[in-house]
Amino acid sequence: MPSFDIVSKVDAQALDNAVNVTTKEITNRFDFKGSHIVIDLNKKEFKLNLETDDDMKMRQLIDVLISRAHKQGIAPEAFDYSKEGYLSGKIWKQEVQVRNGLKQEDAKKIVKLIKDAGLRVQASINDDLVRVTGKKIDDLQTVIQASKSWDLGIPLQYENMRS
């Protein structure tokens, strides 16, 4: 039976490249000359620790980071800015989590949306991915097209298509 997997992954090398390009651009920008800027990537936890002089520079740094990550193929939804920045002494700090893998709640939402679509496919949750199987490849392609219109707030990728 044909099947494919719905996943939400961020390539660690692409993320590292985006951070390096952002750091290089920030050091060359005139409005950041002489400013305290730190972009620290924790590759194991997929977490970014950002430090700037003030809130305005933090927002500019995040804008540059999102645009450079997008050029590296990382969707802007992959970054979780839910934790607010805070002032620590004279330095503005913010922790940004990079979403990597489907959480159980998100996987359940995806399965529910697939079932509500009324297509002749089966969806099952396997760890951090959702496997979709069906009798026809056309049904699987319909699921992919339908899932692109869902607003889940996470980037989705489709891989492992088998017929």
For residue range 50-62, what is the model confidence (pLDDT) as tens digits?
Answer: 999 999 999 999 9
Average pLDDT over residues 125-148: 91
Query: How far is CA 39 from its chain centroid?
Result: 18
Q: Are residues 73 and 106 in the same domain?
A: no
Q: Are residues 58 and 77 in the same domain?
A: yes
Q: What is the number of other CB atoms lying within 10 angstroms of the CB of residue 81?
A: 12
pLDDT tier at 96, thresholds 50, 70, 90: very high
Of 81, 98, 115, at which residue does a domain stop?
98
Residue 125: is its pLDDT beyond 90?
yes
**Strand bridging mode 129-134 / 47-52:** unpaired
Report the CATH number at residue 37: 3.30.70.990
Based on the structure, what is the number of domains in the chain?
2
**What six digits make up the tokens of 75?**
């969707």
Q: Are residues 94 and 109 in the same domain?
A: no
If we measure between CA atoms, which residue out of 80, 128, 132, 74 comes closest to residue 106?
A: 128
- pLDDT at position 22: 95
Of 65, 98, 131, at which residue does a domain stop?
98
Averaged pLDDT of the chain: 91
Could you tell me the residue range of the domain that residue 44 belongs to?
12-98
Average pLDDT over residues 33-56: 92
Q: Are residues 108 and 147 in the same domain?
A: yes
Q: What's the order of all strands across the beta sheet hosting 129-134?
A: 121-126, 129-134, 3-7, 157-162
Of 73, 98, 123, at which residue does a domain stop?
98
**What six digits make up the tokens of 145?**
């097209």
Q: Are residues 80 and 122 in the same domain?
A: no
Q: Are residues 90 and 115 in the same domain?
A: no
- pLDDT at position 72: 93
Q: Are residues 111 and 89 in the same domain?
A: no
